[in-house]
Structure 1
Amino acid sequence: MIDQSEGYLLGYDVGSSSIKASLVSIADGKVLGSATSPSQEMPMLAVQEGWAEQDPELWWEHIVKATQQLKAAHPKALAQTQAIGISYQMHGLVLVDKAQQVLRPSIIWCDSRAVSIGRKAFDALGKDYSLGHLLNSPGNFTASKLRWVKENEPDLYQRIHKVMLPGDFIAMKLSGEICTTVSGLSEGIMWDFREQSLAVQLLDHYGISQDYIPEVVPTFAEQGRVSSQIADELGLPVGTPIAYRAGDQPNNALSLNVLQPGEVATTAGTSGVIYGVSDQLDYDPQSRVNTFAHVNYSKEQPRYGILACVNGTGIQNSWLKNNIMGAHADYEKMNQLAADVPIGSAGLSVLPFGNGAERTLANAEVDAHIHGLQFNTHSQAHVLRAAQEGIVFALKYSFDIMQAMGMQINKVKAGKANMFLSPIFREAFANVTGAALELYNTDGAVGAARGAGVGAGIYSGFEEAFSALELVGEVQPEADKQLAYGEAYTQWLHLLQQHLG
């Protein structure tokens, strides 16, 4: 055990909208300070319809800026950082050469270009292998994106030294060392759960060399140390260990201390997600929800994260703010307007699927729709409420798939952040799903910091690491509201089924 009388943990949350950094006191587990960069959402590159890319160096630029904000506010504390944790946007493909230079923009999580590649691989490899060994269809995940590069950018492909996920890239920038985790490989559909090894059969099918895959290290362990050059630039101690990394949704669950079978987390930021933990090697036969290795997965005590995702969440809210609200609008004002409209938005329905192929819809691209608009009835406020209800309804659709797999969901935990700051969104979530909603004072960067405390051996375990996690609110389903929301959901579901054919 490390002396906890002084010192701090630094957590990074690398999203597709922004980078957040948080300093957490080791002694009491409280957040000393946080910083976010940039102030506006980071851009995505969309060269063609269905594509979504970002420059990994842009993430690093804002890692530096967020850390410099912490340095300006808390220089002594930052200089006492004892471990670093990293949370990152899942499924992204980052390629570097031998000089650790980025070869192309990252193909990120909501990019749809590899859907057909994954579908063909599923047909060729067979359902028994794909679902029995990978727990998923190869789908539109990282391995399939790499195959797309091999097919379409062969000269660039030959220059690849290592293939990484976004969090692996940030750890490399901090330390100069390249490694990955089982949890990370599983989210890229590059881990064979039956064989407890790389998914060799899939990689061979795609013609991808195993040499491209970095060394595998534990999720909670030393994974490299901050180099002297980076330490000087950021104001960190030389040699600070990077002791934890995980994708944003497993990390969100960790942030809420969701680690054991039957526990469920949710988030509604860039994407909307329901994430449940299981100890059963299970999968959805249609691969509409996906099973990955959770942060505390081990061969001896397997913990699987079952993830249902709605792509068009944060981007829909941002689109409404920028295109419907006008100048000087903010999300708080949008929430206030939405609250003035009754449940069901006077018959207005929104399908929030305008951000690429949706996994819960079997990789269909339905697009976003506003249905039932009446000029004499509906106002700006109706659109805002229907949009929030539409995201909750899409999560409910996912919720039902997970329950059909055998998960019993009576309580769901969330951080009081992003769309869960909206009273309407919270109320709708509890009453549409029928599950009690618990809200906590945490976020991805704070969770990553606490995870680093576990990985570095600073904390004795998860109980100590999350002793400062505080319940700050709870929403229980109410019978009359459940009835009203149920009617609105039935209308929404009928509309969705029409679009799915």
Structure 2
Amino acid sequence: MYLLGIDVGTSSIKVAVVDVRTQKSVATAQYPETEVDIKTVQPGWAEQSPLGWWENTQQAIIKLNQAGGFDPKEIKAIGIAYQMHGLVVVDKAQQPLRDSIIWCDSRAVELGEKAFDAIGHEKCLANLLNSPGNFTASKLAWVKQNEPEHYQHIEKIMLPGDFIAMKLTGEITTSIPALSEGIFWNFKTDELAHEVMEHYGFSESLIPAIKPLFSVHGNLRADVATTLGLSAGIPVSYKSGDQPNNALSLNVLKPGEVAATAGTSGVIYGVSDNLNYDPQSRVNTFAHVTYAKEEKHTGVLLCINGTGSMYRWAKNQFASQTSYAELNMLAEKAPIGSKGLKVIPFGNGAERMLNNKYTGAQLIGIDLNVHNQSDIFRAVQEGIAFSFRYGLDIMRENGMEPKVIRAGRANLFLSDLFAQTFVDVTGVPVELYENDGSVGAALGAGIGAGIFESAADAFTQHEVIKHYTPKNEEAYEPIYQEWKTILNKALK
């Protein structure tokens, strides 16, 4: 018996088939091989085509089936993880009315700030656990204000994963965690955030049917099943944003447990059983995958836009023909502190943890007679680790004190140097696991379809593959404080 997981990422679609018995992947695929472009119609805008996601999803599944090693007809459930906070709007024929306004688009910041003032700061934070900010509700308000010809034809609004589930099943649903990440959920009353809907003038008919996250959100249409070589009628039984899903894939389900990822963006995500919020909304609180009215498990999310995006930029500019593995080995040749070279990695839009300010990425202190490629790439890794420390300190201000952080052995955590630097700078040990967003989505599907009796049963064979403990805290602390001083000056 197998499970199919789909991860709708910004750069590509990743899919995996997981064996229920071993809880391990038997085949994976990605489509396309090269990164999907983000459409930047104007500076600060970011859009992608929902139909492009759907085409790439189909191609990825077809490619997966060709890998062999399993019978596609034995797949019994489908789970979906997706890039968070994107807005998809469809008409009555379930056709997209425009491209999706995705997570890193900043056009709606001003609308969100006005809503924060109008609704009231304390009311927003106490009830929504966030300011409306630049989240999905504010993106919809931008469409309403600037594209009335599109807004008047909207039948339903969705997040990216909801759209893929709709294409698979013909059904449109949402969940409490999904609504909370769009700032559509009131945690105090445990119902739709009427104050947000009323402020923006949204009809509640735009919101899809609300279902438990782990439940059947629809069944695979016969025509789609034929195209994809799957069995008609199997359930789509799990949908989650990529960061809560990453936490699920790392078995981070209970209060006090913490996950991290360092892909295009960097995230620390901790589970809490308190309805806490950051007064400045520098970190954000959403309903976790295990949220229930009886047990209000939330996920406190720190997101840094400029992490893997910074490393990719440096690679493209200074060593475009070199692999990331080679870059990591090159960085290891430089000493701690990179001979004084400092990198501010915030060049991928306004950073929420910096109060939505944009500093731009900066390389500081370059000595043309001293620094080389090794110093540059180590400085980039150190700058990214420093940004994690800066954000983790904000989380600590809000009561999150991780004893260990779990991460997948992927992206920047493939670098031993980065993993050790992360631990030395934050002072928190890290456990690495073989995990993947698409694998997590597959396991989530097994939970939602009742194939696993509980979430815990889906991780009985979850094993640590590497463990890092602090080694160089004293050496890094003064270097971090120098970096922080530079950042604070840039923020003034």
Distance 1:176 1:325 in 2: 46
Q: Does 1:310 align with 2:304?
A: yes
Aligned: 1:483 with 2:477: no
Determine the C-alpha separation between the residues in 2 that align with 1:74 and 1:224.
27
Distance 1:223 1:339 in 2: 47
| Residues 359-399 of structure 1: CA deviation (Å, up to 9, x unaligned) | 10111111111111111111122111111111111111110
Partner of 1:419: 412
Q: CA deviation at 1:77?
A: 2.2
**% identity of equivalent residues:** 54
Hey, what's the Cα distance between the residues in 2 that align with 1:32 and 1:299?
A: 36
SS at structure 1 position matched to 2:225: helix
In the TM superposition, 1:168-179 aligns within 5 A as 168-179=162-173
Which structure 1 segments of 5+ residues have no match?
1-6
Q: Return the letter of the residue paired with 2:315.
A: K
CA contact (8 A) 2:26 2:69 kept: no
Q: Which one of the candidate residues 345, 348, 361 is aligned to 2:338?
A: 345
SS at match of 2:198: helix
1:83 and 1:307 map into 2 onto residues whose CA distance is 28
Given that 1:410 and 1:434 are in contact with CA atoms closer than 8 Å, whether structure 2 keeps it comes out as no
- 1:430 corresponding residue in structure 2: 423
Secondary structure of residue in 1 paired with 2:361: strand
* 345-354 or 279-288: bigger deviation: 345-354
Residues 86-140 of structure 1 show CA distances to partners (whole Å, capped at 9, x for unaligned) of: 0000000011111111111111111111111111111111112110110000001
2:220 aligned partner, one-letter code: V
Distance 2:137 2:309 in 1: 25
Match of 1:80 among 61, 68, 74: 74
Amino acid at match of 2:132: P
Aligned-partner SS, 1:353:
coil
SS of structure 2 residue aligned to 1:254? helix
User: Is residue 23 from structure 1 mapped to residue 17 from structure 2 by the alignment?
Assistant: yes
Partner of 2:370: 377
Q: Which amino acid aligns with 1:89?
A: Q
1:390 aligns with 2:383: yes
> How far, CA to CA, are the matches of 2:218 and 2:238 in structure 1?
10
Could you tell me which amino acid in structure 1 is paired with residue 406 of structure 2? K
Which whole-Å CA distance do the structure 2 matches of 1:196 and 1:189 have between them? 13
3-state SS, counterpart of residue 53 of structure 2: helix
Q: CA deviation at 1:74?
A: 2.5
Who is 1:123 aligned against? 117
Deviation string, structure 1 residues 36-90 (Cα, Å, up to 9, x no partner) = 1111111001111111111111111211111011111227522211011100000
Equivalent pair of 1:70/1:78 in contact (CA under 8 Å): no
The residue type equivalent to 1:226 in the other structure is L
Report the counterpart of residue 495 of structure 1 in structure 2.
Answer: 486
- Hey, what does 2:284 align to over in structure 1? 290
1:443 maps to 2:425? no
Question: What is the 5 A alignment of 1:96-495?
Answer: 96-326=90-320, 328-478=321-471, 481-495=472-486
Distance (Å, rounded) in 2 between the aligned partners of 1:330 and 1:104? 37
1:444 is matched by which residue type in structure 2? G
Counterpart position of 1:54: 48
Whole-Å separation in 1 of the counterparts to 2:28 and 2:385: 29
Deviation at 1:323, TM superposition (A): 2.1
Deviations for 1:448-473, whole angstroms, at most 9, x for unmatched residues?
11111111000111222011222100
Amino acid at match of 1:165: L
- Residue 174 of structure 2 aligns to which amino acid in structure 1? T
Which residue type is aligned with residue 406 of structure 1? G
Equivalent residue of 2:465, what SS?
A: strand
2:463 maps to amino acid: E
CA deviation vs aligned residue, 1:405-439 (integer Å, no higher than 9, x gap): 11221100001011100111101111111111000
Q: Secondary structure at the match of 2:71?
A: helix
1:270 aligned partner, one-letter code: T
> What SS does structure 1 have at the residue aligned with 2:86?
coil
Contact 2:264–2:305 (8 Å) recurs in 1:
yes
Aligned counterparts of 1:336 and 1:103: Cα–Cα separation in 2: 47
Contact 2:14 2:30 in 1 (8 A): yes
Report the Cα offset of residue 203 of structure 1: 1.1
Aligned partners of 1:88 and 1:9: how far apart in 2?
Answer: 17
Q: Distance in 2 between matches of 1:317 and 1:240?
A: 40
Q: How many Å apart are 1:174 and its aligned residue?
A: 0.6
Shift of 1:321: 2.1
What residue in structure 2 maps to residue 3 of structure 1?
none
Per-residue Cα deviation, 1:315-360 (whole angstroms, up to 9, x for no partner): 222222222213x321111111111111111111111111111110
TM-score of the superposed pair, with normalisation by structure 1: 0.97
1:337 and 1:381 in contact (8 A); partners too: yes
Residue 344 of structure 2 aligns with an amino acid whose one-letter code is: L
CA distance, structure 2, for counterparts of residue 176 and residue 320 of structure 1: 43
TM-aligned CA deviation for residue 270 of structure 1: 1.7
SS for the counterpart of 1:79 is helix
Q: What residue identity is the alignment partner of 1:14?
A: V
8 Å CA contact 2:259, 2:269 repeated in 1: yes
Report deviation, 1:27. 1.6
Q: RMSD value over aligned CA atoms? A: 1.0
Instruction: Supply the AA of the counterpart residue of 1:486.
Output: E
Q: How many residues matched?
A: 492
| 8 Å contact kept, 1:290–1:308 | yes
Q: Flag the 1:332–1:76 CA change in 2: closer, same or farther, 3 A.
A: closer
Deviations 1:157-191 (A, max 9, x none): 11111110001011001111101111011000010
AA at the equivalent of 1:413: R
Secondary structure class of the residue paired with 1:450: helix
SS of residue paired to 1:218: coil
Q: Which blocks of at least 5 consecutive residues in structure 2 are unaligned?
A: none
Runs of 4+ in 1 over 6 A off after TM superposition: none
Taking structure 2 as the reference length, the TM-score comes to: 0.99
Distance 1:72 1:358, change over 3 A: same
Which aligned pairs between 1:37-48 and structure 2 lie closer than 5 A?
37-48=31-42
Given that residues 154 and 206 in structure 2 are in contact (C-alpha distance below 8 angstroms), is that contact kept between their aligned partners in structure 1? yes
CA contact (8 A) 2:173 2:210 kept: yes
- Distance, in Å, in 2 between the alignment partners of 1:272 and 1:304 is 19
Aligned counterparts of 2:347 and 2:99: Cα–Cα separation in 1:
22
